[in-house]
Amino acid sequence: MKEELIARVVQVLRINMSWMTWNLFLAFIPLALSVWLFRFRRGGSWLWWLGFLVFYAFLPNAPYLLTDVIHLIDDIRTIQSVWMITLVLIPLYLLVIIGGFEAYVISLINWGYYLHRIGKSQWIWRVELITHFLCAVGVYWGRFLRFNSWDFITQPDAVLTKGVEEILGKQPLVIIAITFVVLAGLYWIMKRVTLGLSQRDSRIGVNSGRANSNTPNI
């Protein structure tokens, strides 16, 4: 019985690792772009604007991982073991979902850093809200219409026609509105946690530097 249960868990993990790895890879694309665009570059060139468009095309992939919780429900029904679900499945899903959403949070923090750097700090909260809405639409397109980020290039007509027509319906608007609220709320919490940890590490670094100010560098 135990061998059968372990074999079933291994099978479920093997199936999940493929899409989890792929979705995390897509989520970290906008994070990498945000570092390049907003930390090391200054806007104005055609290459920067191209990267900016790619950044927004891939950004919904990060919060999209929140919707992968539906796979957890299916896996729970498959395994039906409280211990395996508690000790293996739930921690794995939490790691993937939080990792994807943290990529979203850091990407927007970098975006805000860039706005502050160019003297547009007053636009940060507006840009964040607009981004939450655009990503809510993107998450809906990805989960229900099965569009991918590269469909903006491979099939732009379908994205503009089917995608826009769909979101004008009553039910899609409700789903998008709920997604927007969830993204805005979670982002508000995670942003403060992330910035708080970052500032704490900075203070520790400063205090360590002061404590070792009389120690020669190695």
Per residue in 168-181, pLDDT (tens digit) is: 777 889 999 999 99
Phi–psi pair at 21, nearest 5 degrees: -65, -45
Quickly state the pLDDT bin for 152 (edges 50, 70, 90). Answer: confident
pLDDT recorded at residue 212: 46
Asked if pLDDT for residue 218 goes beyond 50, the answer is no
The DSSP-derived string for 76-104 is HHHH--HHHIIIIIHHHHHHHHHHHHHHH
pLDDT recorded at residue 202: 62
Q: Considering the entire predicted model, what is its pTM?
A: 0.85
Angle between helices 2-35 and 90-117 (to 10 degrees): 0
Residue 88, Cβ density class (10 Å: 0-12 exposed, 13-18 middle, ≥19 buried): middle
pLDDT recorded at residue 9: 74
Average pLDDT, the chain: 86
Neighbours of 127 (CB within 10 A): 15
Neighbours of 102 (CB within 10 A): 16
- Please tell me which residue, 166 or 31, carries the higher pLDDT value: 31
Pick the closest to residue 108 from 50, 181, 187 (CA basis). Answer: 187
Asked if pLDDT for residue 205 goes beyond 60, the answer is no
Task: Give mean pLDDT, residues 157-184.
Answer: 87
pLDDT recorded at residue 171: 87
pLDDT recorded at residue 82: 84
Q: Determine the 3-state secondary structure of 154 from DSSP.
A: helix
CA angle 65, 123, 153 (to 5 degrees): 45
- Kindly report which listed range (101-110, 179-188, 191-200) carries the lowest average pLDDT score: 191-200
| Most confident residue range from 10-19, 38-47, 118-127 | 118-127
- Please tell me which residue, 8 or 130, carries the higher pLDDT value: 130
